[in-house]
Amino acid sequence: MPKRPCAIVLTPDDSTILCADKFGDVYSLPLMGRRYETKAVNGIDANGTNGTSDRNQKQKPFAPSATSLTVHTKRNRDALRQQQKLNETKAEKKALNFDHKLLLGHVSLLTDIACVLRASPSQKLRNYILTSDRDEHIRISRGIPQANVIEGYCLGHTEFITKLCVPPVYPHLLISGGGDDYLILWDWRAGRLLQQLDLKQLVATLRNTHLGAEVVSESSTTKDTETQVDSALRICVSNIQALEIEKQKVGHPGVEIIVTCEGVPALFTFTLGANAQLQFNATIHTESNVVDLTVLRNQNSVIYSMDNCHQSWSTDVSSDTASQSPRGLMGSPSYCTDSKTWKENQVLQANLVAATRECADSYSQISQAGVAHGKPLTDLLYGLESLRKRGSDNETEV
């Protein structure tokens, strides 16, 4: 791909890959794509389409972009001179030799993409593409072949967005999260914000309990640990997953939403019902910080992976492995439809432990051997927090 992919998804008919990248563009690629043997000629793909540069210009003999009469700055004139010098010799970057098409683009870094089918007023199916970016936007576009039409935006986040989740049972709803304090529930086709859920409060409560357990002496002075929120605490949602709960008999409204945050040793679960409201269900404590999460649709279960290189609640302080028994790499809670609570899935857990034991050993060896540690390791496991803006304004005077 021309730029680093940030998120990929299949269209609902399973025919096309949509790839959202670091430069803000979304490309479509057929799942069963062809490769072209022929080398690109002068910046034009073998199939005659050109993804990135102006084809007309390339085919014409070189003419400078502006004349000496052109106004504008000294810098522009310098650029022009450079262009004149370079043009003859410059080798065009190799074009991609497989089918791909630019569908849409944000002037930002894309963070997630979803592709959803919805019924039209006449009950026919319509395709939509949802894209989120680092600049707080969620864009709703039509699907292929009209992806150039923007239907609307879901605007309300105040920091970068990292995740979009359209639950399978309620595809008219969208749950989004990222670097601000809130999960937001949307009626995405209307661009309407339905609910804002204070995730920071949940994380802070858990963290205070953790700190309270460690720093016993302070617990007497701060009575109200439950509601105190550390102003330095930053939330960064790393995943939002929807788990469909079989509805029959048990009276569950349908979907459990599971949320993870960078550097937080817990899963947060919410129940999403037909009333289009998220209801906090439970905090599932985990042994170490959660790195990622996936759902097992037919088993009412999720599997999460953990970071056993860093201390819980920290994304950079390495854990003191010598003083600790080896920690697990994975966990697997299940939703119990009888008690409507989350419980450890012991069978699955045992299988996971067995399957990952070897991996866990080598993993801790790797980190001990210093192959990956320090900042590179933090960036690898907790890359999303780096999307936060630092408020630098690099404008300077003449």
Pick the binder of another protein from 15, 42, 59, 158 (CB under 8 A).
Answer: 158
Least Å distance, CB 25 to another protein, is: 7
Work out how close the CB of 281 gets to another protein at its nearest, in angstroms, rounded to a whole number: 28
Give the one residue of 108, 162, 281, 319 binding another protein; rule: CB under 8 A: 108
Helices (H), 261-383: 346-368, 374-381
Residues 322-381 that bind another protein (CB under 8 A): none
Q: Where are the beta strands (DSSP E) in 168-213?
A: 173-178, 182-187, 192-198
Alpha carbons 9 and 3: distance in angstroms, whole number: 16
Please tell me whether residue 89 binds another protein under the rule CB under 8 A: no
Looking at the Cβ atoms of 120 and 339, the one nearer to another protein is 120
Return d(Cα 205, Cα 225) in angstroms, integer. Answer: 7
User: Which residue from 72, 85, 285, 357 is in contact with another protein, where contact means CB under 8 A?
Assistant: 72
Q: Does 94 bind another protein (CB under 8 A)?
A: no
Is residue 75 near another protein by the rule CB under 8 A? Answer: yes
Give CA–CA dist 292/307, Å, rounded.
Answer: 9
CB of 392 to another protein, least distance (A): 7
Binds another protein (CB under 8 A): choice among 11, 111, 132, 141: 141
What residues have CB less than 8 Å from 89, skipping those under 6 apart?
Answer: none
Q: 340: helix, coil or strand? A: coil
Q: Residue 163's closest CA among 174, 178, 173?
A: 178
Is 161 a binding residue for another protein by CB under 8 A? The answer is no
- Residue 135 is a binding residue for another protein (CB under 8 A): yes
Residue with smaller CB distance to another protein, 53 or 368: 53
Residues contacting another protein: total by CB under 8 A? 69
**Contact pick of 32, 39, 71, 213 for another protein (by CB under 8 A):** 71
How far is residue 326's CA from residue 241's CA, in Å, rounded to a whole number?
28
Site for another protein in 26-55 (CB under 8 A): 48-55
CB closer to another protein out of 145 and 376: 145
- What is each CA distance from 207 to 81, 109, 225, 261, in whole angstroms? 59, 31, 9, 12
Q: Measured in whole angstroms, how far is the alpha carbon of residue 343 from the centre of its chain?
A: 27
Shortest distance in whole angstroms from residue 156 CB to another protein: 6
* Stretch in the footprint of another protein (CB under 8 A) among 12-20, 58-66, 201-209, 300-308: 58-66
- Own/partner pairs, 59-66, CB within 8 angstroms, 24+ separation: 62/87, 62/88
Q: Is 69 a binder of another protein (CB under 8 A)?
A: yes
State which of residues 18, 96, 106, 208 lies at the interface with another protein (CB under 8 A). 106
Quote the least distance from Cβ 135 to another protein, whole Å.
5
The CA-to-CA distance between both ends of the chain, in Å, stands at 38
Say whether residue 182 binds another protein (CB under 8 A).
Answer: no
Residue 61 binds to another protein (criterion: CB under 8 A): no
Q: Measuring CA to CA, which residue among 6, 13, 4, 32 is closest to residue 145?
A: 13
- Three-class SS of residue 380? helix
Smallest gap, in angstroms, from Cβ of residue 194 to another protein? 14
Q: And the tokens for 81?
A: 């001179």
Task: Give 141 or 305: the residue with its C-beta nearer to another protein.
Answer: 141
Among 4, 35, 73, 275, binds another protein (CB under 8 A): 73
Which of 268, 269, 270, 267 is CA-nearest to residue 291?
267
Strands 110-119 and 101-105: unpaired
Q: What angle do CA 383, 161, 183 make, to 5 degrees?
A: 115
Provide the token pair at 205: 């409560």
- Sole window of 68-76, 218-226, 349-357, 378-386 interacting with another protein (rule: CB under 8 A): 68-76
Cα radius of gyration rounded to whole Å, the chain: 25
132 binds another protein (CB under 8 A): no
Give the integer Cα–Cα distance in Å for 44 and 51: 8
Taking alpha carbons only, the member of 122, 125, 131, 126 closest to residue 166 is: 131
User: Quick one: which segment of 142-150, 224-232, 260-268, 374-382 binds another protein (CB under 8 A)?
Assistant: 142-150
Task: Give the binding site for another protein (CB under 8 A).
Answer: 23-25, 48-57, 63, 65-67, 69-73, 75-76, 79-80, 82-83, 101-108, 120, 122, 124-126, 135-137, 139, 141-142, 145-150, 152-153, 155-158, 389-398
